[in-house]
Amino acid sequence: MFDSTPDLNGDLTAILARTRVTVVPHPETTTVMHLAGPLDRGSAPQALDEITTAIAAGHPNLILDVRDVPSIDGAGAKSLLVGMHQAQRAGGDLHLVAPTDLVIQRLELAGLAEMLPIDATVVEALEALEVAAAVDAPSANECERRVPPAPAHDHVHDVVA
């Protein structure tokens, strides 16, 4: 019988080598990451570190291409949830691309399938993020309306408390 659970007392390098994360920054504020291998307790911290690094570098819009992720466990699902919250706090979003049926099923069981935007291709995810940015961005007229005009004062008074 094949046991897919890693021996945590074994070689940590072998455990981490099972999942590969490739990061490709895109123009503006988007980063595309390709994950390959299981997203589990052995690889979830690495994936979350890459997400956090991209956001800190000014790329709060993240596209995770997970087509080569055959499985996900609770730690992997948690890393996606934490990454999504980090991206949203930074003014962005996190999209998944082409998850397998098993990954979708596990996300549904965790209650995350409806929270995480899922796209069929990287191009669709890029387009969705561009549309969202265009909708969220206020027009010049809206900016002018949001900034109240400065009151007209003949005299300026300093207030000392």
Write the DSSP assignment of 7-28 as a string of letters. Answer: -TTS-HHHHHTTSEEEEEE-ST
**pLDDT score recorded for residue 29:** 83
CATH classification for the domain delimited by 12-122, as one of 3.80.10.10, 3.40.50.300, 3.30.1280.10, 3.30.750.24: 3.30.750.24
User: What pTM was computed for the model?
Assistant: 0.69
E strands, 82-129, are: 94-97, 118-119
The answer to whether 96 and 117 are in contact (CB under 8 A) is yes
Burial environment of residue 149 by CB neighbours within 10 A (0 to 12, 13 to 18, 19 or more):
exposed
What is the rounded distance in angstroms from the CA atom of residue 131 to the CA atom of residue 146?
22
Q: Which residue has the higher pLDDT, 93 or 161?
A: 93
Give the tens place of pLDDT for each residue, 103-123.
999 999 999 999 999 999 999
**Domain chopping of the chain, boundaries:** 12-122
Q: Over the chain, what is the mean pLDDT? A: 77
Share of the chain above pLDDT 70, in %: 66
Higher pLDDT, 24 or 46: 46
Q: How far apart are CA 59 and CA 30, in angstroms?
A: 5
